[in-house]
Amino acid sequence: MLRRLLFLGLVVAFVWVVHSRFDEIRDLTATLLAGRWPWILSAILLQIVYWVSYALLFRASFAVVGVHSPLRSLIPLVLASVFVNSATPSGGTGGIALFVDDARRRGQSAARAAAGMLLVNIADFGSFLVVLTVGLVILLLLHDLVVYEIVTAFLMYTYVGVMVAVLLLGLWRPDRLRRLLQRVQQGVNRVGAWLRYPTILDENWSDNNSREFEAAANQIAAHPDRLLEMSGIGLVAHVINICTLYSIFLAFNIKGSLGIIIAGYAMTRLFWIISPTPNGIGIVEALMPVVYTSLGLETAGATIITVAYRGISFWFPFVLGFFLLRRSLLRNSGDEALPI
Q: Does residue 254 lie within any of the structural domains?
A: yes
pTM to 2 decimal places = 0.86
Residue 22 belongs to some domain of the structure? no
Q: 56-67 burial by CB neighbour count: b if 16+ within 10 A, else e? A: bbbbbbbbbbeb
Query: Which carries the bigger pLDDT value, residue 209 or residue 307?
Result: 307
Position 120 in a domain: yes
Give me the domain span that covers residue 59.
Answer: 2-15+31-331
Domain total in the chain: 1
**Whole-number Å distance between alpha carbons of 338 and 111:** 13
DSSP string, 37-79: HHHHHHHHHHHHHHHHHHHHHHHHHHHHTT----HHHHHHHHH
Considering only 87-96, 290-299, 318-327, which range has the smallest mean pLDDT? 87-96
Q: Is residue 20 part of a domain?
A: no
In a domain, 25, yes or no: no
For residue 212, being part of any structural domain is answered with yes
Q: Under DSSP, is residue 266 helix (H, G, I), strand (E, B) or coil? A: helix
Q: Is the dihedral of CA 300, 301, 303, 304 positive or negative?
A: positive
pLDDT at residue 197, as a whole number = 61
160 or 88: which carries more pLDDT confidence? 160
What confidence score (pLDDT) does residue 64 get?
Answer: 86
Share of the chain above pLDDT 70, in %: 86
Instruction: Tell whether 21 is covered by a domain.
Output: no
C-alpha triplet 148, 153, 156: angle, nearest 5°: 130
- Could you give the angle at which helices 224-251 and 258-273 cross, rounded to 10 degrees? 120
Average pLDDT over residues 36-61: 96
Predicted confidence at residue 217, as pLDDT, reads: 79
Interval 296-323: pLDDT, tens: 999 999 999 999 999 999 999 999 998 8
Structural domain includes residue 340: no
- Count of other CB atoms within 10 angstroms of residue 249: 23
Per-residue pLDDT band for 108 (boundaries 50, 70, 90) equals: confident
Write down the pLDDT at residue 328. 67
* Tens-digit pLDDT profile for residues 242-278: 999 999 999 999 999 999 999 999 999 999 999 988 8
